[in-house]
Structure 1
């Protein structure tokens, strides 16, 4: 039987953030969600798991014993922890929304047969990671004059859905570029120091590498440091791509040390709050499954300037609710 809830705030949202508050991507997710919550009159509570996914289950189990309970919970299926979190929430009449990394379609189909989750599991907000993986790889391979690009991939991890989708898109693009050769793929665990150490080893193993694809900015920073220490000149005799829009990576993109950059999926959390606002007003939720959220980030464009400013509170989130057809366009969010 569902347990009764006592609410101090009828519009409270708990977000279990799998990352670190100081981490570039997850910090941007937090910042945009905080701005959206303020504009939408929602009270946002955020817990950071510090990249230790098991801490999400530990925190949630303890939080559900402490009233008042949240009205909504926002989750991310980082390292496939989603089903465990749903088990903990099953006894509570709390609508749940996944962002960025969803459970599998098969798991959703099975949960749809459960009367509880048929009512309380909301549509997920998942960006097209396959698309951005392919786009960044394709543009990366077009950089430089190398007739036969020698490629290294520094991926995130082996189990997170977003990581696997980015890898798949990148490999599809690589396969279409016949002269290119994948030297090795490693998993940097989204971490700068890990990628730095890996790149040092890889440069000794593959001194002729010309193109390096990375799945996020932190790993790009580590790879870049190793390349510079080895005497390579990024943007001239080696080319890097990455994903995310942190101030540091934007600066490196301006300088040409990062040759290709994709980003925009940090808006998924704010979009999730827009859906929650619609749900709490008993409105039908718009389809969000076909949204890209990603784009290639180019210097000297209005979008690039807005990303540098990072004035998230300038965004009119209430206006966004009337423009669902533009939710896939990052520039429409940052007008």
Structure 2
């Protein structure tokens, strides 16, 4: 897309501003160009596979729809991510769409950088905080080319994770320790909230302590060593990503403690949950980028996702993994990744009624 090349129709309604999808009834529509500012690393360097897998699945989904996707990795450096955004803005040809993440709350500045350009922006994974929204508004308002936000329903996911941990614990009174990520990342607190909600609804169990970590195995290991000494009665530990859960599990095993460990993210392909001591984990977090590709494909072809759940999409798609269903999950997600068919979720291709039904179930092998 040239900065001054294309004309977009803006229809101003009495209730706000509507951003028209890039659809034309008179001529074939070229598939769009998309840039993803990935805040993570292209490979796992001790902080989990989330961002590498997010980028990979986005690429597979984009290819399935014939879209051009470029992924820029910030290597867990939000300042580098800002520089990448600034550099992108200097290109002669801007992408049709830009996908970004509110990592370390940097999305507010990046949204302001691209405000008024022809590039449509989709925010994923980490939403803006309410304070940030109070400053720059919501989707399709002050920044009219910010067309939407797609986040995971983290609370519902960790709620189901805790239900499975309680089930495995049986009638024993749960004594719970939690390890979540850094305070500045909104998803950290959302995952913790789902745990709190389940314990409240269950009406039993005690939360001993919630600690913050830097998402790494090493830090979680050292923190768990201290926590097990402080709370010898602990029998449940949950962690907000797999790397931290693995650190907690290794500390539990080293101390021979009778503790079940749960992860709000799934294991990497070389460490299967079943047989490794992890009681439960949540899969499909890193599909959020692939779901975003579906939304952008449909939007580009005139099917506005805002008509199916609003511009601010909260997707309840997390999959509870235990010893029984782990083999099917790993087969589909890690062994047959390139065969995943994301086209089945497109409402442009499959215009059934109802909202987007993003789920791992249609992608898993038949039972």
* Range of TM-score over shorter length: 0.7 to 0.9
Shift in alpha-carbon separation, 1:329–1:113, aligned structure 2, 3 A: closer
Question: Is the aligned partner of 1:331 residue 2:357?
Answer: no
SS of the equivalent of 1:279 reads helix
2:245 is aligned, of 205, 208, 220, to 220
| 1:181-231 CA-partner distances (Å, limit 9, x unpaired) | 222111122211111111122122222321101111010111112122223
Q: Where does residue 265 of structure 2 map in the other structure? A: 244
| 1:222-253 CA-partner distances (Å, limit 9, x unpaired) | 11121222233xxxx210011223335861x2
Looking at structure 1, the residues matched to 211 and 293 of structure 2 have their Cα atoms a distance apart, in angstroms, of 35
Looking at structure 2, the residues matched to 181 and 19 of structure 1 have their Cα atoms a distance apart, in angstroms, of 34
Correspondence list, 1:27-42, <5 A? 27-42=52-67
Question: Is the aligned partner of 1:291 residue 2:321?
Answer: no
SS of the equivalent of 1:123 reads strand
Is the contact between residue 155 and residue 187 of structure 1 (CA under 8 Å) also seen in structure 2? yes
Looking at structure 2, the residues matched to 319 and 174 of structure 1 have their Cα atoms a distance apart, in angstroms, of 36
Is the contact between residue 15 and residue 75 of structure 1 (CA under 8 Å) also seen in structure 2? yes
1:47 is aligned, of 72, 78, 92, to 72
Long gaps (5+) in structure 2: 7-29
SS of the equivalent of 1:244 reads coil
Shift in alpha-carbon separation, 1:224–1:266, aligned structure 2, 3 A: same
Shift in alpha-carbon separation, 1:308–1:39, aligned structure 2, 3 A: closer
Q: Where does residue 142 of structure 1 map in the other structure? A: 167
Q: Where does residue 154 of structure 1 map in the other structure? A: 179
SS of the equivalent of 1:261 reads strand
Shift in alpha-carbon separation, 1:309–1:300, aligned structure 2, 3 A: farther
Shift in alpha-carbon separation, 1:113–1:244, aligned structure 2, 3 A: closer
Q: Where does residue 275 of structure 1 map in the other structure? A: 295
Q: Where does residue 306 of structure 1 map in the other structure? A: 331
State the Cα distance separating 1:314 from its structure 2 match: 0.9
Number of positions where the alignment pairs a residue of Structure 1 with one of Structure 2: 326
Correspondence list, 1:84-99, <5 A? 84-99=109-124
Looking at structure 1, the residues matched to 158 and 308 of structure 2 have their Cα atoms a distance apart, in angstroms, of 23
Q: CA RMSD in A?
A: 2.8
Long gaps (5+) in structure 1: none
Shift in alpha-carbon separation, 1:287–1:310, aligned structure 2, 3 A: farther
State the Cα distance separating 1:10 from its structure 2 match: 6.4
Identify the range of structure 1 (103-112 vs 286-295) with the bigger mean alpha-carbon deviation: 103-112
Greater helix percent: which structure?
1
State the Cα distance separating 1:63 from its structure 2 match: 2.2
